[in-house]
Amino acid sequence: MLSGGEIAHAAHLLPITEVARESLGLDEQVLVPYGHDKAKVDLAYAVSLTPRPGSRLVLVTALSPTPAGEGKTTTVIGLTDALRLLGTRAAAALREPSMGPVFGMKGGAAGGGYAQVVPMIDLNLHFTGDFAAIEAANNLLAALIDNHVHHGNPLDIDVRSVTWKRAVDLNDRALRQVVVGLGGPTNGYPREDGFDIVVASELMAIFCLADSLADLKDRIGNIVVAHTRSKEPVRARDLIAEGAMTVLLRQALAPNLVQTLEHSPVFIHGGPFANIAHGCNSVIATRTALALADVVVTEAGFGADLGAEKFLDLMCRSSGLRPDVAVVVVSVRALKYHGGVAVADLQTPDLEALDRGTANLERHLTTLRDVFGLPVVVAVNRFPSDTPAELERVEQLAADLGFTAYVTTHVADGGGGATGLAQGVLDVLGGLGGLGGLDGGQPSTFRFAYEDSGSVEDKVTVLATRVYDAAGVTFSARARRQLAQVRADGFGHLPVCVAKTQYSFSTDPTALGAPTGHVIDVREVRLCAGAGFIVLITGDVMTMPGLPRHPASERIDIDDAGVVTGLS
């Protein structure tokens, strides 16, 4: 089989205007082309749309991530292609890749094999410039804070209390903590500062939750950046920052349209991290897709305890969107890894390890069904080393838990390798009352994990005990002081966003499988008033990742003909 990069280079792309017209009924007058193979949908047009009657939203998530890979993004792409092969008007809605992980661990995030979004290279790099716009707007606010202090500080900002960080879309551990304003009075007031990666910034979360320019501007104005010496919150609107920041984001807020290798439409927009923020693409992109397609397949980052929980408790709570079914992606290799098998030995058949690793999958499945009330199907992403006996065992293990599993081969076979999964999803959706504008349907059983009325402690305890199977939650002294300030500022009612390792239900990334009885220790509390949630940072989670010993950038190159290699 060709590599993902070779497949992408050889792909035949349709003009994006043709994809928009044939698959979504979009006139080219509402498109803003970026070359021939990607475009933005005019923002005014996008926000004017309403979901099609009977349109359905499919949420793809996975078990806890492993070095073996699960294939969540490829499953979204393969499932979308397969739905269209079965005659369904379908589209996908995904996040944009961050260049930090692309040059760090991943080497690309546009899918793989024959389940890819193209143009792959553009998508993995600067794309349509959305992230650069978010970075610029984020750093404009940081500059305005320091400029305000430099010119007399009329708001009486306590420079020790500034929480707004600068941002860059790369992994750079050296920027986690810095000092700015050195070099004398002409260079400002020296203070401690730091950088977040763009996808971990509050502005990225705001960008993906806003439903219009007006909402974006209002949310930006609500950002709390610091406190005065009398402990009063200082907002971005106090610095008269929201207008200029929104200007920088006005074009970026329009959703992007690209295609799969099989020419299915894909809306790719925004990209918040799921172990820090809410981990899903923009509300505007998802709503646009639901207005133009009968079935929309979207993805939540990392495992269901992180991405799916945040999608459901944060994005759905804010936007009013509701998924109709969840698809949980699993692989034989990932189950064996959670069953205690070393990465080097994952290609060796081991049914007992499969059985042990199923505990991780079971908790994700039952959380989605029992905590959130969603119907769930299982997608078994087949790898070449998987044996028939192992695949049969996974199907049986899922059936024993009360779920139906479908083996997929979309990476090798494209949409044709996921038609069984697609039909299974359609069967579930049909049982909810029809598709494609058909009347009828049953009331959704979806529910949030916790109620709005609870305290921050109550909300995180629900997640800890019902989703992570922990014994309880503790707060560091620093976190308690920060939480007290959040309450004093009037934001204690907001939902919570737990930032923890993606590799485990606990805060220990080495605790694989389904650990129980552990304690979730909150070490830091961050208010995201513009995004509308409170971030609770646990364990060793960083909002600025570092690079590994051998970053993916070492494999990325370009030849004299301009052909890029090493991305996938």
pLDDT 10s digits, 40-81 = 999 999 999 988 888 999 999 999 999 988 899 999 999 999
Which residue pairs, CB below 8 angstroms and at least 24 apart, start in 433-437? 433/54, 434/54, 435/54, 435/56, 435/88, 435/294, 435/295, 436/52, 436/54, 436/55, 436/88, 436/89, 436/294, 437/52, 437/53, 437/54, 437/294
Distance (Å, rounded) from C-alpha 63 to C-alpha 513?
10
Distance (Å, rounded) from C-alpha 129 to C-alpha 256?
11
| Pair type for strands 265-268 and 256-260 | antiparallel
Q: H-type helices in 463-562, by residue range?
A: 477-488
pTM to 2 decimals?
0.95
CA nearest 186: which of 226, 146, 145? Answer: 146
- What's the pLDDT score for residue 436? 39
Q: How many CA atoms lie within 13 A of 151 on its CB side?
A: 6
Domains identified in the chain and CATH numbers: 4-127+259-431 (3.40.50.300), 130-249 (3.30.1510.10), 456-538 (3.10.410.10)
One-letter amino acid of 234? V
- What's the pLDDT score for residue 253? 98
Q: pLDDT tens, 297-336?
A: 999 989 999 999 999 999 999 999 999 999 999 999 999 9
Q: pLDDT tens, 23-39?
A: 999 999 999 999 999 99
Q: Are 133 and 249 in contact (CB under 8 A)?
A: yes
CB atoms within 10 A of CB 409: 21
CB neighbours of 129 closer than 8 A, spacing ≥ 6? 251, 252
Looking at per-residue confidence, does 430 or 423 come out higher? 423
Q: H-type helices in 281-367, by residue range?
A: 283-292, 309-310, 316-319, 332-338, 351-366
Q: Are 225 and 145 in contact (CB under 8 A)?
A: yes
- What's the pLDDT score for residue 437? 33
Across the range 434-450, mean pLDDT stands at: 60
Measured in whole angstroms, the distance separating CA 107 from the mean position of its chain's CA atoms is 17
One-letter amino acid of 505? F
What length does the chain have?
568
Average pLDDT across the chain, whole number: 94
Distance (Å, rounded) from C-alpha 89 to C-alpha 109?
25
pLDDT above 80 (res 432): no
pLDDT above 70 (res 100): yes
Q: Are 182 and 212 in contact (CB under 8 A)?
A: no
Between the CA of residue 194 and those of 86, 131, 142, what are the distances in Å?
Answer: 50, 19, 10
CA nearest 26: which of 36, 9, 40, 14? Answer: 40
pLDDT above 70 (res 441): no
Between the CA of residue 432 and those of 53, 54, 140, 194, what are the distances in Å?
Answer: 14, 10, 47, 48
